Structure 1
Amino acid sequence: MTSSTWVGDRVRLRAREPEDWEAFHAFDEYSDAVRNGWRLSPPKSVARAKKEMAERAEQELDLDEFSLVIATKQDNEAVGSINTHEVDRVHGTFCYGIAVGTPHHRKGYASEAVVLLLRYMFFERRFQKAEARVYSSNEASLALHRRIGFVEEGRRRRCRYANGRYDDEFLFGMTVEEYTERYG
């Protein structure tokens, strides 16, 4: 049997499908989780959620800058998303973001999705460093990045306002050599 770069023990990374709208629309009900990822916005209608997901499913994927669904390996259920951004091909660096729906926290989906994404970016696309930014209020993500081997490289103080308080932003990085040492 042939193994896929995009499939781990628990998750598969896949393209968005129009029917994914329902899962992501439900994830938006968890305000704290939404804030931890970016910013809280007003509620979206079902019609809007369906339209946006259908449009995203039709978009062409760039080889280096893209967004994928994190789905369970067992039943292909959407549990979150992972994306690359701020891709710098000259210097071989990129940032990524990850969000896992609140009902799916603490099941190992995020860590496995990150490892799969990094393997692709390092060994298929020849990038040499991954970066992630995490708000100080997102304790679970801070712990995740430290646990999977990212190095804390910096901290921007009071750079975001959400939920009545200012958050610091931590910058994490992992080089291809650090990844290889840890994950082979």
Structure 2
Amino acid sequence: MTSSAWVGEGVRLRAREPEDWEKSLIFEEDSDAVRSGWRLHPPRSAAQAKKAMAEQAEEQLDLDEFSLVIATKAENELVGFINTHEIERVHGTFAYGISVGTPHHHKGYASEAIVLLLRYMFFERRFQKAEAWVYSYNEASLAMHRRLGFVEEGRRRRSHYANGRYHDEILFGMTTEEYAERYA
């Protein structure tokens, strides 16, 4: 049996498919989960969500900057999204964002997705450091990043506005050596 770098014990990272639009639209209606991932947007129609997902499914993915679905390994059910951004090839650094729907919290999906993504970026794409910004009100994500071995590197005070309040953003980082020591 062959193995995939994109499949872990409980999750698989995969490209978006046109039929993912319904789950994605339901996910977008979970305001707390959306705020924890980035920012709340006005509601989209089913037609807009369907069109956007179909277009995203057709896009050619860049080797370094991309967005993937986090799906359960067994049922291939969409539970969230993970993406890379802030790609700095000269310095060998990148950032990522992750968002998992509330019904799927505390099941290990986010942690496993991050470990899979970092393995690809460090060992296939030769990046040397990953960064993640976490909002100060997202206690679960703060705890998860610490548990995964990320180092808190800084704080941007009152730089994120959500739900009527200003919040800090905490920067976490992990080097390829730190990853290898823990996960290789």
Task: Establish whether TM, by shorter chain, passes 0.5.
Answer: yes
- Does residue 107 (structure 1) correspond to residue 110 (structure 2)? The answer is no
Q: Is there any run of 5+ residues in structure 2 with no aligned partner, and where?
A: none
- How far does the alpha carbon of each residue in 1:52-102 deviate from its partner, in whole angstroms, 9 at most, with x for none? 100100111000000000011001111111000010000000000001111
Residue matched to 2:133: 133
With the length of structure 1 as denominator, give the TM-score of the two structures: 0.99
- CA separation in 1, counterparts of 2:80 and 2:38? 14
| Distance in 2 separating the partners of 1:161 and 1:54 | 31
1:181 aligns with 2:156: no
Aligned mates of 2:111, 2:166 — CA distance in 1? 27
Aligned counterparts of 2:95 and 2:78: Cα–Cα separation in 1: 22
Pairwise CA RMSD? 0.6
Counterpart in the other structure of 1:122: 122
Distance 2:126 2:42 in 1: 39
Instruction: Say which SS state the counterpart of residue 172 (structure 1) adopts.
Output: strand
Counterpart CA distance in 2 for 1:120 and 1:133 is 20
> CA separation in 1, counterparts of 2:157 and 2:145?
19
Q: What amino acid is aligned across from residue 149 of structure 1 in structure 2?
A: G
Residue 37 of structure 1: CA displacement? 1.0
Q: Can you give the 5+ residue segments of structure 1 that lack an aligned partner in the other structure?
A: none
Structure 1 runs of 4+ off > 6 angstroms?
A: none
Distance in 1 between residues matched to 2:60 and 2:4, nearest whole Å: 21
Match of 1:9 in 2: 9
| Count of aligned positions | 184
Please give the residue correspondences for 1:161-172 in structure 2 after superposition, counting only pairs within 5 Å. Answer: 161-172=161-172
Q: Distance in 1 between matches of 2:181 and 2:99?
A: 26
The equivalent of 2:97 in structure 1 is 97
Paired with 1:140 and 1:22, the residues of 2 have a C-alpha distance of 26
If the length of structure 2 is used for normalisation, what is the TM-score? Answer: 0.99
- Amino acid across the alignment from 1:81: F
Q: For residue 177 of structure 1, give the secondary structure of its aligned residue in structure 2.
A: helix
Deviation, 1:177, is 0.3
Match runs of 1:28-43 below 5 Å: 28-43=28-43
Amino acid corresponding to residue 21 of structure 2 in structure 1? W
What is the aligned-residue identity percentage?
79
